[in-house]
C-alpha cells in the first residue's frame, strides 16, 4: 500500500500555472492515473469543486444531451460572482462557455488530457473578461493562484490525499 502511494507520487508532477500572452490562465499537472479516470473526475464539476475546496457553489441547471448547463456562484470581497455556462465534451477533454453573467462579458474554460507514460497530463485553461471594476492584473494573479491550488488539489486527490 505504501509502495503504491510512493509510486503514484513519483509519477505525478508538481502543478504549474501561468498567465499566457493571450491573458488566459493555464494550469497543468501530471497525474498518475489513466486519462479515462481523470476525464470522469474533471467532467463532474461538483466533485472537482469539492476536491478543490473552493467556496464556489455549483448547481446543475439542465442536462442537454452530452452537455450540462451549470450555475456558479462565487463569493467575493468586492461582489459575488455569478455565471452560467454550458459544459460540453470535446476531443481529449471538455470545454465550458459562458451563457450569461453580470460579472463576465466573456468566459471560456477547457480541460485537455494527454496520455503521459502510465499517467495523464491535465491542462486547464481559462480566459475571462470581468465586468466589475477590478484591475486586470489582480484578476490574472488571483486566477493564476487559484488554478495552481486547484491543480494541486487534483494531484492530492489522485495520489491518495483526499
Residues 143-153 have pLDDT tens digits of: 899 999 999 99
- Nearest Cα neighbor of 111 from 98, 119, 120, 100 is 120
Q: Using the predicted structure, report yes or no on whether residue 16 has a pLDDT greater than 60.
A: yes
Q: Is the dihedral of CA 68, 83, 46, 158 positive or negative?
A: positive
The rounded distance, in Å, linking the Cα atoms of 148 and 120 is 17
Please check whether the domain covering 2-158 is classified as CATH 3.30.70.3270: no
Q: Is the pLDDT of residue 8 over 50?
A: no
Q: What residue spans define the domains of the chain?
A: 2-158
Q: 12 pLDDT exceeds 80?
A: no
CA distance 158 to 34: 10
Write out pLDDT tens, residues 87-97. Answer: 999 988 999 99
Q: Is the pLDDT of residue 7 over 70?
A: no
Looking at residue 161, its pLDDT comes to: 63
Read off the pLDDT of residues 56-97 as tens digits, 9 standing for 90 and up.
889 999 999 999 999 999 887 777 888 999 999 998 899 999
Q: What does pTM read for this prediction?
A: 0.85
Amino acid at each position: 500500500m505504501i509502495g503504491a502511494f510512493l509510486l503514484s507520487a513519483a509519477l505525478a508532477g508538481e502543478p504549474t500555472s501561468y498567465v499566457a500572452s493571450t491573458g488566459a490562465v493555464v494550469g497543468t499537472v501530471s497525474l498518475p492515473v489513466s486519462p479515462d479516470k481523470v476525464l470522469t473526475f474533471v467532467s463532474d464539476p461538483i466533485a472537482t469543486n469539492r476536491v478543490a475546496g473552493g467556496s464556489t457553489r455549483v448547481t446543475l441547471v439542465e442536462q442537454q444531451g452530452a452537455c450540462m448547463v451549470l450555475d456558479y456562484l462565487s463569493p467575493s470581497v468586492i461582489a459575488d460572482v455569478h455565471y452560467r455556462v454550458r459544459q460540453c465534451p470535446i476531443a481529449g477533454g471538455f470545454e465550458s462557455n459562458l451563457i450569461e453573467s453580470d460579472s463576465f462579458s466573456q468566459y471560456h474554460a477547457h480541460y485537455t488530457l494527454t496520455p503521459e507514460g502510465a499517467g495523464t497530463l491535465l491542462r486547464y485553461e481559462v480566459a475571462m473578461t470581468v465586468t466589475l471594476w477590478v484591475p486586470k492584473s489582480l484578476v490574472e494573479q488571483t486566477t493564476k493562484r487559484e488554478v495552481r491550488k486547484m491543480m494541486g488539489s487534483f494531484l492530492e486527490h489522485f495520489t491518495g490525499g483526499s
